[in-house]
Structure 1
Amino acid sequence: MAYKIILDTDPGIDDAMAIAYAIAHPDIELLALTTIFGNVRTHEATANALRLLEAWGSDADVAEGEAVPVSVPAHEPSYSVHGRNGFGDVELPATARVPHELDAVSYISEMTRRHPGEITLCAVGPLTNLARLLERDPGIVDRVRSVVVMGGAVHRPGNVTPVAEANFWHDPHAADQVLGAAWPLVLAPLDCTMPVVFTPDFMAALALESPRFGEPLADMARFYTRFYRSHLGLGGCVPHDVMALSWLTVPGAFRLQKGALAVLTEGAGIGQTVFQPGGTSSRSSVFDARPDHLVMVDTDPAMFLADYMRVLTAAADG
């Protein structure tokens, strides 16, 4: 049975890489993109989502999400990482498509009522939409098939502060709320994303073997790679957001730990992910009554890269 996916996203270059994978994979039925701020502002994310779906021939819905975080002031989008338009300054053709009449939270609520127990929410941006969803529709925890979140850093340093990953830093209160909810959740933090690098050679091969997806992604990746080279000395870029989908389709590529999770919401460590392994205890009350979730703590890069190339290449003529 195909995975029915709603992808909560802030496109974003690595978001585009994930969206391409979702469209191309034969076992994924992409129902919708719900949009959020982060890499760009929410209205820009919506425009980017519509353009990507048009360019790649998908009829998935686009539902616009929240524009500001739950409690903290909004940060400036990550234009320095993804370019002023979110796509490394690569311009995609305009589209006449418009967003769904329902906002993101209402859309997710409605679709999970139509398909109870069937929909997986893959969230690859700040978690404001999911936090508002929990507030407005607490029964959602029993209607989703699963939730996969790309965000946080468990055993690794952060990427916007020494301890905080970007998605959780943009809305730490939302992240803490989502990780504390009693729904079946898997976290894909920097621990599993940073071992994987899309090199220029890999992107060139992708453009050659799968022009429909690979050519625009390779163009976007040039900007993204310049950022990673200048800031981390990497010879390529990291496809963070794809991990939230790959967990569903190639779970053998990842090593897992289980435990309770929380996110710090104030102080110098704001946005930091804290983890208590399952079966252990501590004197901290932060984990009281928190459910255990699965955490992807490492990745087999060769398996991941082979799967990504195979999926997009197989869809090249689609």
Structure 2
Amino acid sequence: MLPRLKALFALVAAALLAQSAHAAPEKRKVIIDDDGFGLMQVMLLSSPEVEVLGLTTVSGNAWANRNTAQALRGLEWIGRSDVPVVPGATFPLLNSEVATERWEQQHGPLVFKGAFMKRWVEDTQQAPPPYHGPFDAVDLPGGNPTTHPADEIAANFLIRMVHKYPGQITIVACGPMTNLALAQRLDPAFAGLARELVYMGGSLNPRQVLDNRAAADFAREFVNNPRREFNIRFDPEAASIMARAPWRKITMVPVDPSTATQLSPALIARLAKAARPGVDRFVKALAPGFPLWDEIAAAVWLDPALVKTQRRLWIDFDSQQGAGYGDTLSWDQAYHPGMGEQAQDVVLAIDVPGLETMLTRLVGK
């Protein structure tokens, strides 16, 4: 009997090894921290390689309550209401609407102010932004969500998740950094427990690449202010806390690579044709003309081969209340001041056709 038992055990062991060899790889865990809901979320939610643990919302393009509602409705439209939406910070750490208006009186109007925006300074192709207060009732064009946000705040959710999955979670942040700063201040271990941070924000020296009116509109503010970008300018103190936190790895996607991209009518039509049911409704509602800011961040995380040019830089952001408030600060290794700023992989150019191909593939899954 003994030889037969040994043979049986050997067969079982071989079967288990074969099963393990062919087992599906573990999905990459991610939390999306953002001030809206767009193609970036659809990309990550559609990837078979990714497990989205939650969407955390923050004020930026609009107030947090509207962004939370948009995220809930977006998930409903694409059939992913299983993913929790966790409300985040309503106000920046120190910056405010009044402080921004006072700053503009001294230093000139900002091109875009997000939730603080009441009118465009110059004529533009985009419609005048609707103005809302931070606690106004939300009534979204096209209907409100029927689902509800999680009964938790974003900073606590972020902390809880990195402790539950230490070293496993990527945070993709494409809005102001308020939630991340709050989490870091509440728990100094927070950033170090994450696997990595990928964020869209900051600006080094972007230039107009595409030759059309929409591209010119978005590139014009960088001619005289190449270091200013909205996600950082909305909450510079939070951005500086984020940049100095001890992340294991940081990938920065500044404005620079986005000026070579555009959500053109032709691209929207291509995506709509490829989109699966539910996602097609979302795609058809997209406004054309915008650069693919957040989509670049998702794409280079999903496939780093899309990066054509990047630099290793030490990054911080100006939190002094002067003309450069919110501007991006950068140094090569030999020159950074050693005040806690961290080394970051800064994406400067990407494979644009590759990005568009990835978008088309993911909306169709």
TM-score range, shorter chain: 0.7 to 0.9
Query: Paired residue for 1:169?
Result: 233
1:72 aligns with 2:95: yes
- Check whether the contact 2:35–2:61 (CA below 8 A) recurs between aligned residues: yes
Name 2:347's counterpart in structure 1.
296
1:1-318 matches, within 5 Å, as: 1-11=26-36, 15-58=37-80, 59-74=82-97, 77=115, 83-84=129-130, 91-156=141-206, 162=225, 163-183=227-247, 184-211=249-276, 212-222=278-288, 225=289, 237-254=290-307, 255-265=309-319, 266-278=321-333, 280-281=334-335, 285=337, 287-313=338-364, 315=365
* Inter-partner Cα distance in structure 2 for 1:49 and 1:130: 18
Q: What's the CA shift for 1:217?
A: 2.4
Residue in 1 that maps onto 2:109:
none
Higher relative contact order (CA 8 A, sep 6+): 1
Distance 2:46 2:61 in 1: 23
Q: Paired residues, what number?
A: 292
Flag the 1:22–1:159 CA change in 2: closer, same or farther, 3 A.
Answer: farther
Aligned partners of 2:140, 2:279: CA distance in 1, in Å?
Answer: 14
Equivalent in the alignment of 2:100: none
TM-superposed deviation, 1:289 = 3.9
**Aligned partners of 2:301 and 2:194: how far apart in 1?**
14
Aligned-pair distance for 1:96? Answer: 2.4
The answer to whether the 8 Å contact 1:207/1:218 transfers is yes
CA distance in 2, matches of 1:112, 1:159: 39
- Partners of 2:285 and 2:65 lie apart in 1 by 23
Structure of higher CA gyration radius: 2
Q: Please give the per-residue CA displacement for 1:276-307, whole angstroms capped at 9, x wherever unaligned.
A: 123x326xx4x534221111111111111111
| Residue type at the aligned position of 2:359 | Y
Partner of 2:5: none
Conserved? CA contact 1:264–1:271, under 8 Å: yes
Q: Pairwise CA RMSD of aligned residues?
A: 2.3
* Structure 1 position 160, deviation (Å): 6.0
Does the 8 Å contact 2:35/2:62 carry over to 1? yes
Give the equivalent residue in structure 2 for 1:233. Answer: none
Q: Could you tell me how far 1:31 is from its partner in structure 2?
A: 1.2
C-alpha deviations, 1:33-75, integer Å up to 9, x for none? 1000111101111111111111111111111001111111145
3-state SS, counterpart of residue 19 of structure 1: helix
Sequence identity, in percent?
A: 25
Work out whether residues 268 and 286 of structure 2, in 8 Å CA contact, stay in contact via their aligned partners in 1.
no
- 1:190-243 superposed Cα distances (whole Å, 9 cap, x missing partner): 012222122211111111111532442232224xx2xxxxxxxxxxx2121112
- Measured after TM superposition, the shift of residue 177 of structure 1 is 1.2
Q: Which segments of 5 or more consecutive residues in structure 1 lack a partner in the other structure?
A: 226-236
Q: How far apart in 2 are the matches of 1:193 and 1:290?
A: 24
Please say if residues 169 and 195 of structure 2, whose CA atoms lie closer than 8 Å, have aligned partners that are also in contact.
yes
**SS in structure 1 opposite 2:31?**
strand
Alignment deviations for residues 152-191 of structure 1 (CA, whole Å, 9 cap, x no partner): 1022278767231110010011111111112021111101
Counterpart of 1:228 in structure 2 is none
Structure 2 gaps of 5+ residues are 1-25, 98-112, 121-125, 133-138, 208-218
More displaced 10-residue stretch of structure 1: 158-167 or 69-78? 158-167
**Contact persistence 1:152–1:190 (CA under 8 A):** yes
TM-score, normalised to structure 1, is 0.85
Distance (Å, rounded) in 2 between the aligned partners of 1:159 and 1:102: 40
